[in-house]
Amino acid sequence: MRTIDWDYEKNNIIMIDQTLLPKEYKLIECATVDSLCEAIQSLRVRGAPALGAAGGFGVALSAFRSKASSLGALLDEVETAGKKIILTRPTAVNLSWGVKRVIRAVEEANNTKEARMFALDEAKAIADEDVKKNMELGEHGASLLEDGDTVMTHCNAGRLACVDWGTALGVIRSARAQGKDIKVISCETRPLNQGSRITTWELLEDKIPVTLITDSMSGAVMRKGMVDKVIVGADRITQDAVFNKIGTYTHSVIAKEHEIPFYVAAPVSTFDFERFEDEIEIELRKPEELKFFGTHQIAPLEVEVYNPAFDATPMENVTAIITENGIFYPPFLIDEVK
């Protein structure tokens, strides 16, 4: 099962509920745009490329649920739904990219029936292309890995963050498919533990050796020589920085200090080269994520909390960016990437 897909019998979105992993593998359906927005906000579906597909399928869902009898009214509805979906998470550029791409397809329709069909075809194309691009990206990235390498990663940039295969973990999958013995060190990724809950789960499913560490151990393991390369995903790449899960910047600084290559693996849809770091909104999440571990209280309820979901890593800390179009090195010129 892909991370996110379309149920053609019910015309609903179907997805793996990632909040339940690793204890439970469960598929859930979203029959309304509101339930999709809830699923995105609570991270049932997450990861930049998967959010691109969620945005696309969300617009299709709004077209299918619409009772509008005229094309103009349907267009208004999908545009309103698209705005609502985009607002759920501001940092990953893929979400708005997926929404806008499907809305553009709907605008080509001549009637409401065609509009629904165009929306679904385009959303499905985003999902299919994501898998293909990740596999291409994986092939390029695998050339950077040597037999016997240990790769450190942060958060989950695997098949569950995408439609399938993965970006950072896709590179590792491709290298292993080429017969290279690659091991992984996964940072747990506080506060929502995408590393310990999801990355380790999906790697173990594929029998890829993985060792779990706390985020604060990354300096120690790099200093001990236990890491050959770092590979992370990205939520948005501006001209001057890579936005990814909070903690990524810290790993980049330590990797630079120890002369360990720091690679970013991301599809071209993650690039936002018209903008700079200062212009990007970093999502601030609820204080409860730090005050509780599940239902267990781990901080005074009255304590002040700062909980950004992402950070920005300046380009000077990035050794190379791996995309479906190849591997790019500084100064990362947009014309070369696209």
Write out the catalytic residue numbers.
235
Closest among 172, 208, 200 to 322, alpha carbons compared: 172
Q: How far is the CB of 28 from ligand MRU (least distance, A)?
A: 17
Q: How far apart are CA 71 and CA 113, in angstroms?
A: 9
Q: How far is the CB of 309 from ligand MRU (least distance, A)?
A: 5
For ligand MRU, the closer of residues 40 and 60 by Cβ is 40
Contact 147, 189 (CB under 8 A): no
For ligand MRU, the closer of residues 167 and 317 by Cβ is 167
Contact 258, 222 (CB under 8 A): yes
Q: How far is the CB of 157 from ligand MRU (least distance, A)?
A: 4
Block residue for tokens 């579906």: 45
State the burial class of residue 97 (Cβ atoms within 10 Å of its Cβ: 0-12, 13-18, 19+).
buried
For ligand MRU, the closer of residues 117 and 253 by Cβ is 253
Q: Which residue is nearest to ligand MRU (CB)?
A: 233
Q: Which residue type, as a one-letter code, is found at position 175?
A: A
Q: How far is the CB of 233 from ligand MRU (least distance, A)?
A: 3
Q: How far is the CB of 13 from ligand MRU (least distance, A)?
A: 17
Q: How far apart are CA 314 and CA 63, in angstroms?
A: 40
For ligand MRU, the closer of residues 15 and 74 by Cβ is 15
- Looking at residue 284, the DSSP 8-state letter turns out to be B
For ligand MRU, the closer of residues 22 and 68 by Cβ is 22
Residues binding ligand MRU (CB under 6 A)? 43, 46-49, 92, 155, 157, 161-162, 167, 194, 233-235, 244-245, 309
H/E element holding 41? Answer: helix 33-41
Closest among 91, 118, 120 to 107, alpha carbons compared: 118
Closest among 314, 328, 182, 186 to 244, alpha carbons compared: 314
